[in-house]
Amino acid sequence: MNLLCRISPKHIISTCYKIQTNNYAIPGSKATLGKVTGKKAMVSSKIQFPVEKDTNKLVMYVCGSNYLKEGEDIKLKPDSEYPDWLWTLPLTPTKLEDMDPNTKQYWRKLRKLAIVNSNLKKKFQ
The answer on 85 and 56 residing in a single domain is yes
Does residue 65 fall inside a structural domain? Answer: yes
Residues 56 and 84 in one domain: yes
Averaged over 43-58, what is the pLDDT? 86
83 and 96 fall within a common domain: no
**What pLDDT, on a 0 to 100 scale, did the predictor assign at position 108?**
97
Residue 51 CA from chain centroid, whole number: 22
Smallest CA-to-CA distance from 113 within 100, 125, 97, 102 is with 97
Share above pLDDT 70 across residues of the chain, in percent, rounded to a whole number: 66
Cα separation, 70 vs 66, whole angstroms: 8
Torsion of CA 26, 28, 31, 32, to 10 degrees: 150
Overall domain count for the chain: 2
Q: Do 98 and 78 fall into the same domain?
A: no
Q: What is the mean pLDDT of residues 51-70?
A: 89
Confidence class for position 59, pLDDT limits 50, 70, 90: very high
Give per-residue pLDDT as tens, 8-45: 666 665 555 555 555 666 665 555 555 555 556 567 78
Say what the pTM is: 0.42
Where in the sequence is the domain holding 95, given as residue range(s)?
90-124
Given this model, what pLDDT does residue 48 score?
85
Longest CA–CA separation in the chain, Å:
87
Q: Is residue 78 part of a domain?
A: yes
- Does residue 113 belong to any structural domain of this protein? yes
